């Protein structure tokens, strides 16, 4: 059996670079097979439980379509309609679902300090792999797809390539911090020159900043914090501007959105893109607040790779499930 059989996937940091390499290799293989219509039923009759405390388009559907293509089945569970809403413990859920199926995936991303701990509590008692479909700390399925997308454009050796991870204005809702945190901690491991930019109130979790700095040292890359989107974009190969909320204000979303409105100029438009290299790519995990985080001209323009990036969610998700749930 594959050495990754039974492994949780809660943060990218807990997988070695060799293990991530294996996941990316299988993801590319599965992508080719899907494009060529070659069946790849690696998880016949296996079940993954998909437990959502928050809304989703890409994550839910990449898991559901992915497990179907692998020959298994995904159960969608909305936390509010399960006994978790009545206080059922993560321990009981981990033990019981482990007797029903082969994987447990959880999205719990809207309450800082809760999501990651919750999935670790499930994992402590589960005997099947637990997958993080986005928490307060990381969104490892997203950033793995992002890494795959960046490599498809620039090749496997990303040393010295500059990525700008910038806050952008969005009026829709206070988005989790997990995507920028996942990006700065993963891309620094690959020797990238990672520049983070945000208005002063929109800081990331200090532990994740410290981890990005440590990863940059160990990965031979750089980690810098800039004061503006323009500064972050200067000379960038990859730009990833997106909104996120204020750590201390997730319980008071109206206050956070009011503060965010002071920074409407943090939008990725054509003028902003001109700061990056001519061949730079524009990325966003989606959903994007069009007209606020980014103009239509940029997100629909030739530098945008958002649909390739979203498609890669399917292939990377299938790869992680196949490697950990006994498919290869």
Q: Which residues bind ligand CP (CB under 6 A)?
A: 56-59, 134, 142, 285-286
| CB distance 204 to 233 below 8 Å | no
The residue assigned the tokens 């928490």 is: 135
> Exposed, middle or buried by CB within 10 Å (0-12, 13-18, 19+), for 44?
exposed
**For ligand CP, which is the closer residue by CB, 137 or 216?**
137
In the complex, least distance from residue 254 CB atom to ligand CP, rounded to whole angstroms: 22
What whole-number distance in Å separates Cα of residue 40 and Cα of residue 327?
A: 10
**For ligand CP, which is the closer residue by CB, 216 or 317?**
317
In the complex, least distance from residue 284 CB atom to ligand CP, rounded to whole angstroms: 9
In the complex, least distance from residue 87 CB atom to ligand CP, rounded to whole angstroms: 26
What whole-number distance in Å separates Cα of residue 281 and Cα of residue 163?
A: 10
In the complex, least distance from residue 79 CB atom to ligand CP, rounded to whole angstroms: 15
| CB distance 190 to 290 below 8 Å | no
User: What sections of 261-305 are H helices per DSSP?
Assistant: 270-273, 296-299
Cβ-Cβ contacts under 8 Å for 177 (sequence gap 6 or more): 112, 136, 204, 205, 208, 244, 245, 247
In the complex, least distance from residue 77 CB atom to ligand CP, rounded to whole angstroms: 15
**Cα–Cα nearest to 317, from 144, 185, 181:** 144
**For ligand CP, which is the closer residue by CB, 194 or 310?**
310
In the complex, least distance from residue 44 CB atom to ligand CP, rounded to whole angstroms: 26
Closest residue to ligand CP in the complex (CB): 59
What whole-number distance in Å separates Cα of residue 4 and Cα of residue 196?
A: 32
């Amino acid at each position: 059996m594959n050495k990754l059989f039974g492994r949780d996937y809660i943060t990218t940091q807990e997988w070695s670079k060799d293990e991530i390499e294996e996941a990316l290799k299988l993801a590319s293989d599965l992508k080719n097979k899907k494009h060529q219509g070659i069946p790849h039923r690696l998880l016949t009759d296996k079940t993954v439980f998909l437990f959502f405390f928050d809304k989703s388009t890409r994550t839910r559907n990449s898991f559901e379509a992915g497990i179907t293509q692998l020959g298994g089945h995904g159960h969608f569970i909305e936390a509010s309609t399960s006994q978790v809403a009545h206080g059922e413990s993560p321990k009981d859920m981990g033990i019981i679902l482990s007797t029903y199926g082969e994987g447990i995936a959880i999205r719990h991303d809207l309450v800082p300090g809760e999501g990651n701990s919750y999935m670790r509590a499930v994992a402590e008692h589960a005997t099947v792999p637990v997958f993080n479909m986005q928490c307060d700390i990381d969104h490892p399925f997203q950033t793995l797809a992002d890494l795959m997308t960046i490599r498809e454009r620039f090749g496997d050796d990303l040393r010295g390539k500059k990525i700008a991870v910038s806050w952008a204005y969005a009026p829709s809702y206070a988005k989790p911090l997990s995507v920028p945190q996942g990006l700065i901690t993963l891309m620094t491991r690959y020797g990238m020159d990672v520049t983070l930019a945000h208005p002063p109130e929109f800081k990331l979790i200090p532990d994740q900043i410290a981890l990005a700095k440590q990863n940059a040292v160990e990965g031979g890359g750089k980690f810098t914090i800039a004061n503006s989107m323009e500064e972050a974009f200067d000379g960038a190969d990859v730009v990833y501007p997106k909104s996120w909320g204020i750590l201390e204000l997730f319980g008071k979303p109206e206050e956070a959105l009011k503060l965010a409105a002071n920074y409407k100029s943090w939008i990725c438009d054509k003028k902003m893109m001109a700061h990056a290299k001519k061949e730079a790519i524009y990325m966003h995990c989606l959903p994007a607040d069009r007209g606020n985080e980014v103009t239509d001209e940029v997100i629909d323009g030739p530098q945008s790779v958002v649909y390739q990036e979203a498609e890669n969610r399917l292939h990377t998700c299938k790869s992680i499930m196949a490697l950990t749930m006994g498919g290869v």
